[in-house]
């Protein structure tokens, strides 16, 4: 059976400590989290639960306090380092100079390697495009699959990893991304995104027709307490998120909408659209992959089901416009992209038929 590079076997790492006479009593989970480079409380607790933490040869609980003379052993199963391997993946370059590159990302392409997706990404493609052929190994500080670090910032914190991502879009969202070629440009572009001086406009097909043609959606976004793999609006906690929307065309049961981001949270437009009762058409994660409006209309239902087949379980969402101040050229640059083929096809199918009966 061929190995799956995206899900490699974990490597056993054994840590051993002899507690010195000057060590004060301390919970063993606290001690190990501090003593093991890159360890997290969660990973240490998992090792304790699996009886992989022993003191003087005996498995212990997290509350056990270490004492001078104790022999502490901890076995942690770690994933091997991520290797950034240049790969000849076809990508659309919209603009490029010695400082940065703007890409129109196709649907289905993951932006960067992560714990469960180690190859076949935009970064792998860009490394190859820029002439790199040697793999770059990256040791992750936290490989916990349920880590709250959804931004994966650590992967690209090193100056060794260039091109450097400034922002991201989801795997099945298409559209424009700017990527820095050096640390100076990366820092300046990151500052612009943090200070919200960039321009980011998306277009999407959404279910239904919002009562207000224009509006602003505000709601803190965080991981769902019921399903850690998705995000939701949280009454407490989460990260502040703000999105403007405008209905561009109304097809009664679905609409073409424009979204402008004021913040850049994971799944922000998808979560906010779902929150106001108008999920992105085709979105399997946030309730958009079935007929939500107009199901009682046989003509529309037939057309909608055909369009859902074209969407093929992907959200019909496109990062259409991107603007930023070029740090080296000292000028504002604005890029606009055409809607992808599946988006245009679905749009035309809804445009050509009236459902007002």
Q: At what angle do helices 341-351 and 298-311 cross, to 10 degrees?
A: 170
Cα–Cα distance measured from residue 241 to residue 243, given in angstroms and rounded to the nearest whole number: 7
* Under 8 Å between Cβ of 211 and 257: no
Active site (annotated) includes residue 170: yes
- In 3D, which of 147, 118, 153 has the Cα closest to residue 9? 118
Q: Is 246 helix (H, G, I), strand (E, B) or coil?
A: strand
First to last CA, the chain: 57
Query: Of 70, 152, 170, 172, which residue is the catalytic one?
Result: 170
Radius of gyration of the chain measured on its C-alpha atoms = 24
Cα–Cα distance measured from residue 169 to residue 203, given in angstroms and rounded to the nearest whole number: 13
Cα–Cα distance measured from residue 315 to residue 272, given in angstroms and rounded to the nearest whole number: 14
Would you call 46 exposed, middle or buried from its count of C-beta atoms within 10 A (0-12, 13-18, 19+)? Answer: middle
Which residues are catalytically annotated? 170
């Amino acid at each position: 059976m061929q190995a799956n590079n995206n899900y490699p076997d974990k490597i056993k790492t054994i840590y051993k400590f002899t507690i010195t006479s000057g060590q004060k009593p301390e919970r063993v989970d606290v001690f190990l989290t501090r003593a093991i480079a890159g360890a997290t409380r969660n990973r240490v607790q998992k090792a304790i639960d699996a009886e992989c933490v022993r003191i003087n040869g005996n498995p212990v609980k997290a509350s056990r306090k270490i004492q001078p003379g104790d022999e502490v052993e901890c076995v942690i199963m770690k994933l091997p380092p991520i290797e950034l391997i240049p790969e000849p993946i076809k990508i659309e370059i919209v603009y490029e100079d010695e400082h940065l590159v703007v890409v129109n990302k196709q649907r289905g392409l993951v932006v960067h390697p992560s714990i469960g997706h180690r190859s076949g990404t935009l970064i792998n493609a860009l490394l190859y495009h820029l002439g790199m052929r040697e793999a770059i190994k990256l040791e992750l500080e936290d490989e916990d699959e349920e880590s709250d670090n959804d931004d994966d910032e650590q992967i690209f914190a090193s100056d060794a990893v260039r091109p450097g991502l400034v922002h991201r879009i989801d795997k099945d969202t298409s559209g424009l991304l700017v990527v820095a070629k050096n640390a100076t440009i990366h820092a300046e572009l990151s500052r612009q995104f943090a200070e919200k001086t960039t321009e980011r406009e998306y277009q999407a097909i959404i279910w239904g027709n919002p009562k207000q043609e224009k509006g602003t959606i505000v709601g803190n976004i965080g991981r769902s307490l019921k399903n850690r793999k998705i995000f939701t609006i949280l009454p407490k906690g989460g990260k502040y998120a703000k999105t403007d929307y405008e209905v561009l065309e109304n097809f009664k049961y679905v609409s073409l909408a424009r979204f402008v981001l004021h913040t850049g949270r994971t799944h922000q437009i998808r979560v906010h659209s779902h929150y106001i009762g108008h999920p992105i058409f085709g979105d399997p994660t946030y309730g958009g992959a079935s007929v939500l409006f107009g199901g009682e209309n046989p003509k529309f239902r037939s057309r909608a089901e055909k369009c859902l087949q074209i969407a093929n379980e992907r959200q019909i969402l496109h990062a259409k416009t991107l603007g930023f101040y070029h740090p080296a050229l000292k000028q504002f640059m604005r890029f606009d992209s055409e809607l992808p083929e599946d988006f245009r096809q679905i749009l035309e199918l809804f445009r050509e038929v009236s459902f007002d009966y």
